[in-house]
Structure 1
Amino acid sequence: MSALAHLPGSTGPATGPGSPPPARPGRRRLLPYLLLLPGAAWLTVFFVVPLFQLAATSLYDPTGSLATGYAMSWAFGNYPDAVQAYWPQFGRSFLYAGAALLVALLLGYPLAYAIALKAGRWKNLLLICVVAPMFTSFLVRTLAWKTILSDNGWLVGLLRDVHLLGADGRLLATPFAVVLGLTYNFLPFLVLPLYASLERLDTRLLEAASDLYAGPVQTFRRVVLPLSMPGLVAGTLLFFIPASGDYINAELLGTPNEYMIGNVIDSAFLVRLDYPQGAALSFLLMAAVLAVVFGYLRRSGTEEVL
C-alpha cells in the first residue's frame, strides 16, 4: 500500500526528491501575525504615536506659547479648567447630535426597511440615491444647505407664504439649521448598516407572525426590531460619534451661539494657538464619547456589535 502513494495517479502524500518540504507548524502559526504587521505598523505610526503626543501636549504649561515654547509641567489642571470654561459647548454638542440622531432614526429606519423589503428591482437605484450625496465634498453639501436655508432662499419664502414662518422668521443661523445639517450629512451612516441588517431578515418570519394574528405594530416590535438591533446599534454609533465632534455644520449653518465643542477645539489649535487647552478638550471629548458608547452598548445588549 505504501508503494501506491508514489504512483502518478495516487492521492497520497508526495515525498519524492522534487516535492516541496511540508510547511512547519510553527510557521503556520506565525502567518496570521505576519499579515497583521502592515496594519499594526500603520496604526502605530498614524494613531498611537499621535495619540501619545496629544496626551503629552494636554499636560504642557498653559502659560507657554509658540514663541516662547511649551514646557512639560504635568499640568493636569488643564482638564478641569477646560471643562469649567466650555461645558456649555460640550452639552450643546451631545444635545445637537442626539436631536439629529432622533430625526435620522425617524427618517432612516422606514427608508432602510423599504429598500430592504419593499423596493424589489428598485433596490440598487435607491441605495445609489442614499450614497450619492457622499460623492460630493462634505463642505460643498453643507454650503448647499446654507444656500437653501438662506433668508432670501425659496424655502424661507415658501414657509412665509403659507404662514408657517413669520415675516422676520429665519431658518439659517439657528439650532434647527445645525441639527438639519447634521442629520443630512450623516444619514447614510445610519441607513446603510440598518439596510444590511434588515436585508438579511427572513420574510417567512413576518408571514408567520401574520398567521399568528399579530398586527403590524406587534410584528415590528416582536420580530423586526429585535432582529435589526445589530444594524440599529452600529448605525446609531456611526452617526452619533462623528456628529458629536463635528464643527462644520455649526460654523456654516449657525452662529457662535450654536457652536459645538468641535468649534472650540478648532479655534484653540488654529486661531488662539492654545495647544494645551485644545489637546485637553480633545481628550475630554474622546472620553465622553467612549463613555456614551460603552454605556449604550451595555444597555442595548447586542453581542454582535461587541
Structure 2
Amino acid sequence: MYRCHVAASFDSRNSVCVVSTDLSVRTEAKRRQPTHLRGQFSWPGTTPALLVAALFTVGPLAIIFLFSFLSRPAQGGGVVYKFTLEPYISALYQSDFVGKTVFDGRYLRVFGDSLLQALITTAVCLVLAFPIALWIATRPQRLQNLLVLLITIPFWTNLLVRTYAWILILNENGIVNSGATALGLPKMELLYTPLASQIGLIYTFLPFMVLPIYASLAGFDFRLAEAAYDLGARKVTVLRRIIVPLAVPGILSGVLLVFMPAFGSYVQPVLLGGGKVLLVGNLIASQFGDARNWPFGAALSVIILIMLMLALMGIAVYSRKAGKKVEISL
C-alpha cells in the first residue's frame, strides 16, 4: 500500500486550485509498469530467432574474416590454421624469384576498374531514375501503384534469365545489330565487351535507385511547387531548391543500394563482359576456384567490406550533420 501526500492551495488572483502530489507515488507507478510493451516479445521468446539470424548473417562474415588471417596449404584449397598477414600483404606486394619483395599494383588496378564501373553505374542510374521517380510521383494515385508495379516486375524473374536475355539482345544477330543492318549501318561488336557489362549493371540496379527516390517524393505536396511558380520561380529553381532537397534521403539510399552491389558484381561482367575486364568479384571467385587461394580471396572480401563500411559511415555522418534520415530500404 502506497501513501500519497496531497497538498492543495487556492490562487485567489487566477481562481485556480493547485494540487501537488508526492513524486514517490509516480516513481512507484513507473516501477509497476511492464518492462515491455503489449504485443512485444520478451527476450526468452526472441532468443532462438536472434541466434538463427546471427548464424546466417554474422556467421559467414566471421568465417571469412578468420580465413583472411590464416595460411594457405602447400597443395589444394582450404586453409591452415596458422596466423599470418600474408594474404593482406599479397594485395600490394609480391616476392620475385630471388625472394625480394616488390610493390605490385595489379590488384589496385582491379579495385580501380571495379570502383570506376560502380561509379558509372551509380551515376547513370541516378540520372535515369530521378526523372522517372518524379514523373511517377506526379501521377494519380491509382496510376502510381501500377507504375511502381511495373518497376518491380524485373524482380519476379531470376537474374540469370534477365542477363541471358541481354545476351540475345546484344549478340551478333541480336535485336540491336538486326536494327542496325536494317538501317544500312554496319554490325557492332557489343557482346563480351566492357560496354555490355556496364549496360547489364545499369539495367539490373536501376529499380534500386527509382524506388527509394519515389518513396521520398510520394508524400510531397506539389502545391508548394505550384506556389513557387506563381511567385515567379523558374522550373530549374523549383527543382533545385524545393524538389531535390526533399529527395536527398531517397537519393542517398539509392546510391548506397546501387553502388555497394555494383562494386562487387560478378554475374554481369562474366556473362556479358566475357571476363575480358577483371573486376573484384571475378578476382575473388577465381581465388576461391581456380587459384584455390582461400586466404587471399577472404582478404579481398574483407577489404571490400571495409570500403563499404567506410562509405556507410560517411553517409551516416552527412545525414547526421544535415539532419536528414537515410534508410537503406526499398
* TM-score, normalization by structure 1: 0.83
Which one-letter code corresponds to 2:118 in the other structure? A
For 1:165-204, list aligned pairs within 5 A.
Answer: 166-167=186-187, 169-204=188-223
Look up the SS of the partner of 1:273 in the other structure: coil
Relative distance call for 1:250 and 1:119 in structure 2 (3 A) is: farther
- Name the counterpart of 1:112: 133
Q: Point out where structure 2 has 5 or more consecutive residues left out of the alignment.
A: 1-30, 93-103
Question: What amino acid is aligned across from residue 143 of structure 2 in structure 1?
Answer: W
Paired position in structure 2 for 1:40: 50
Q: 1:176 to 1:299 in 2, by over 3 A?
A: farther
Q: CA contact under 8 A between 1:64 and 1:70: conserved in structure 2? A: no
Q: CA deviation at 1:129?
A: 1.1
Question: More strand per residue: 1 or 2?
Answer: 2
Structure 1 residue 150 and structure 2 residue 171: aligned? yes
Task: Tell me how far 1:304 sits from its aligned partner.
Answer: 0.3
Structure 1 gap segments, 5+ residues each:
1-22
Give the CA RMSD over aligned residues.
2.6
**Are 2:49 and 1:28 equivalent residues in the alignment?**
no
Residue aligned with 1:258, SS: coil
What SS does structure 2 have at the residue aligned with 1:173? coil
> Residues 161, 196 of structure 1: CA spacing in aligned structure 2 closer, same or farther, 3 A cutoff?
same
Please say if residues 93 and 245 of structure 1, whose CA atoms lie closer than 8 Å, have aligned partners that are also in contact.
yes
In the superposition, the TM-score normalised over structure 2's length comes to 0.77
How far is the alpha carbon of 1:212 from its aligned partner?
Answer: 1.8
State the Cα distance separating 1:183 from its structure 2 match.
0.8
Equivalent of residue 72 in structure 1, options 81, 86, 92: 81
Q: What is aligned with 1:251?
A: 270
Query: Which residue is 1:93 aligned to?
Result: 114
Partner of 1:222: 241
SS in 1 for 2:197: helix
Note the C-alpha offset of 1:177: 0.8
Aligned-partner Cα distance in 1 for 2:305–2:274: 24
Superposed CA deviations along residues 247-280 of structure 1, whole A, max 9, x for unmatched, are: 0000000133323111111121133221111101
- Once the two structures are superposed, residues 160-201 of structure 1 have per-residue CA deviations (whole angstroms, 9 ceiling, x without a partner) of 5547x644x311111111111011111111111111110011
* Identical pairs, percent: 36
Q: Say whether the 8 Å CA contact 1:93–1:244 is kept in structure 2.
A: yes
Specify the SS of the correspondent of 2:292.
coil
| Rg larger in structure | 2
Alpha-carbon distance, 1:88 to partner: 2.0
Q: Aligned in 2, Cα 1:33/1:274: closer, same or farther, shift over 3 Å?
A: farther
Cα offset for 1:58?
0.8
**Quick one: distance in 2 between partners of 1:160 and 1:133?**
29
Secondary structure of 2:239's counterpart equals: helix
Q: How many residues align?
A: 282
Q: Which structure: greater helix fraction? A: 1
1:254-265 equivalence runs, <5 A: 254-265=273-284
